[in-house]
A and B are shown apart, each in its own frame.
Chain A
């Protein structure tokens, strides 16, 4: 089968097609890595459209949902073939902040980019980020905040991560009030303004 069909199903957010085509591709004997790459290409394409203002939050959400359904079919096959996500990310909304829309969207996009994502939820204290980063040997830790009043929690979390000496774990931050200047000021390794650029930045950070 033409793997472009898989990519197109993700871009269109067509979850039924994405799932059925993944099943078909595997049944036809396509290598699981090739199937995965085709799905990721779809998420990259929708991410690019989002950054160019050609797609918006609803299109990102339905694409991520289609990806999730395709991955539910593909993951057992990848596991059986010994293919695992190359990178692991831990993500959460920092202590004092209960907002999760932006964080969820970034987690979806990272999963769509084939990161293994551990979502710690909201109102996450610094020590929980440290614990999870250590336990999962995270390559990346993502901190989200919506409130200006919880931005100091980001600083405290980064300090805790640095003190814990987890040299592999790069830290990136995002959220409505966050600026690149603030990210620099508190010692984050990266900043992303939206869910699509969060993928680009994440890839750059883990690539070292």
Chain B
């Protein structure tokens, strides 16, 4: 089976040779730390898939479905170990030069109707030339080739996550109450943009397997957006996006949302978003096994392997692999660490995890070679 066939068979609960073996990448600090623990110096984040013998999660069609153009990125102040920048989303933040974790946000360009109309609206024109442009056209033949063995994905963007990015959690929360019409107008603008861009993608003839959306609209305690607002304003608009997708043969839409998502899952399922990712375990105890039991097979899952278990040791890792294996065998579930692997995971533990999942979930069938495991014995 190709990676593409395997992924789709997994999500369709159909027969397959084995489960996809994938990961969720690593903190930037993890790789240098692992270099000191035996990871060869030539291995960088960009080459971990190859070194660890991972399947890919597909190839994404290059489209521009957000701010287009974005804001000019500028360094406002160099503070030595830290730096203050304004990024392409008009967000000013302070960050450590050597870390790539969430920075400290200082200011947001989007504050109110005036800044929306002046600074943002024109950057969200669905018909701006180049949203589905030359980069897309260049890649189209390869993506549509009969030899395309990888999953073909296209982004469906975000209806709340971008607002949160552009305004901050507090700003976005206040907006819902201070100017509900503007909040809805922004959500509608984002929806219309996604619908138009996807229609352009399908008009090109691209055969898409999965649409990828993201929201990051939850924290460890639950939704950042009030569920009644989510249900009223977002769900019907997600549905408009998934209607376009289904009309063009795309059965699966995954949503990347950290945090405690369980309260929002019924709404997403109702709207046709059917793969949840990454099922964070560490922050709220998300459990793919319990979620399948609660929501049934309509809910597909990716992620759900606690990265904190990876810090503990071989016994705990093996036990967690054992616990998840029946769900892996049932299908509709592609396990992987529940977020990027942090530097406090010992390299030896990760190698043990890798060896174990290749054996238990990969069944030793059609696996990519994993140079990392060449000298490892159990």
Q: Which residues of A contact B (CB under 8 A)?
A: 13, 53, 55-59, 61-62, 65, 98-102, 104, 122-123, 146-149, 176-177, 193-194
Contacts and interface: CB of A to CB of B under 8 A. Distances in A.
A200 B143 CA distance: 56
Contact of A146 (B94, B102, B169, B227): B102
Contacts of A100: 104
B204 to A, nearest CB: 39
Contact of B344 (A58, A98, A148): A148
Interface string B148-178: 0000000000000000000001100110110
B346 interface: no
B219 A13 contact: no
16 contacts: A13-B177, A56-B226, A57-B224, A58-B173, A58-B174, A58-B226, A61-B170, A61-B173, A62-B173, A98-B95, A98-B96, A98-B101, A101-B219, A149-B29, A176-B220, A177-B282
Given A59-B226, A147-B101, A176-B283, A194 B173 contact: no
A149 B226 contact: no
Nearest to B223: A56
B173 A98 contact: no
Interface in B62-102: 94-96, 101-102
B236 interface: no
A194 B223 CA distance: 13
Given A98-B95, A122-B104, A149 B342 contact: yes
Contacts of A13: 177
A102 to B, nearest CB: 8
Given A177-B282, A194-B221, A58 B176 contact: yes
Contact of A98 (B104, B222, B226, B282): B104
B313 interface: no
B308 interface: yes
Chain B interface extent, by class: 20 to 34
Nearest to B282: A177
A122 B102 CA distance: 12
Contacts of A62: 173-174, 177
Nearest to A151: B344
Contact of A177 (B29, B263, B283): B283
B55 to A, nearest CB: 27
Which of A57, A193, A194 is the most central at the interface, judged by chain B CB atoms within 10 Å of its CB?
Answer: A57
A62 B170 CA distance: 9
Interface in B263-296: 263, 282-283
Contact of A148 (B174, B263, B282): B282
A122 B94 CA distance: 11
Contacts of B133: none
Given A176-B219, A176-B282, 19 more contacts: A13-B177, A56-B224, A57-B169, A57-B173, A58-B174, A58-B225, A58-B226, A61-B174, A65-B174, A98-B103, A101-B169, A101-B170, A102-B219, A122-B104, A123-B104, A148-B308, A176-B283, A193-B220, A194-B221
Interface in B224-259: 224-227, 229
A102 B222 CA distance: 13
A99 B176 CA distance: 23
B343 interface: yes
B56 to A, nearest CB: 27
A146 B167 CA distance: 20
Nearest to A99: B102
A98 B174 contact: no
A105 B96 CA distance: 23
Contacts of B176: 58
A123 B227 CA distance: 32
Contacts of A53: 222, 263
A99 B173 contact: no
A99 B220 CA distance: 14
Contacts of B308: 148, 177
Interface in B23-65: 29
A174 to B, nearest CB: 10
A47 to B, nearest CB: 13
A154 to B, nearest CB: 14
- Considering the complex of A and B, which 5 residue pairs feature the smallest CB-CB distances, nearest first? A58-B173, A98-B104, A176-B220, A176-B283, A194-B221
Contacts of A148: 282, 308, 342, 344
A58 B177 CA distance: 8
A194 B263 CA distance: 17
Contacts of A104: 170
Nearest to B229: A58
Contacts of B104: 98-100, 122-123
Q: Which of B29, B170, B222 has the most CB of A within 10 A?
A: B170
Nearest to B172: A58
A16 B58 CA distance: 52
A13 B176 CA distance: 12
B102 A56 contact: no
A103 B263 CA distance: 24
Contact of B343 (A61, A149, A176): A149
Interface centre among B220, B263, B282, B344 (most CB of A within 10 A): B220
